[in-house]
Amino acid sequence: PDGTAARREHFIARNRLVSGLSKAVLIIEAAEKSGTLHTARFALEQGRDVLVVPGNITSPVSVGTNNLLKAGARAVTCSADILDALGLAGVQSVATIMADTPEEQAIIDLLKNGVQDGESLLGQSGLTAAVFHQTMTILELKGSIKPLGADQWTISQ
């Protein structure tokens, strides 16, 4: 429930829910015995795609991700790979930014004034942190906004 403290014993159950609510699961790093591998297994059991960023073969935190790739997970090396996996390849040009939700529109409207940092956007948007971060991720995946580094954001051109 909302407001419940993050406790170690909740992570696996929570991640089963996360994978079930997702179209795909993106795994950036996972050691050989990482809890992230539970999430990957749940995703596969639930018929979800498992997307994996390949890691350095000498890095202990890449053993799990590289094993997932050997087992048939889909390699991701750029944002276009994610869009393709989600069936969003060829998303329309951002010159005509279309918001699908009021939350997306609120963020786009704020960024029309120019580059802003994430903290300012969160405060001005009136959204909860969870909804804000989810919406920012969706807008970035759609190609509507892009990060400039140092938590600075802009509308994509």
pLDDT tens digit sequence for 15-69: 999 999 999 999 999 999 999 999 999 999 999 999 999 999 999 999 999 999 9
**What's the pTM?**
0.57
Mean pLDDT value across the chain: 88
CATH 3.30.1920 for the 8-85 domain, yes or no = no
Fold for 94-155, please state it: Arc Repressor Mutant, subunit A (1.10.10)
Would you state the pLDDT for residue 117? 92
Closest CA relative to residue 40, chosen from 60, 67, 58: 67
Phi/psi at 3 (5° precision): 90, -5
Q: Is 103 exposed, middle or buried (0-12, 13-18, 19+ CB in 10 A)?
A: buried
pLDDT band at 157 (very low <50, low <70, confident <90, very high): low
Domain parsing of the chain, residue ranges = 8-85, 94-155
Same fold, 8-85 and 94-155: no
What is the rounded distance in angstroms from the CA atom of residue 11 to the CA atom of residue 143?
Answer: 30
What pLDDT does 72 receive? 94
Would you list the DSSP string of 98-136? --SSHHHHHHHHHHTTS-EEHHHHHHHHT--HHHHHHHH
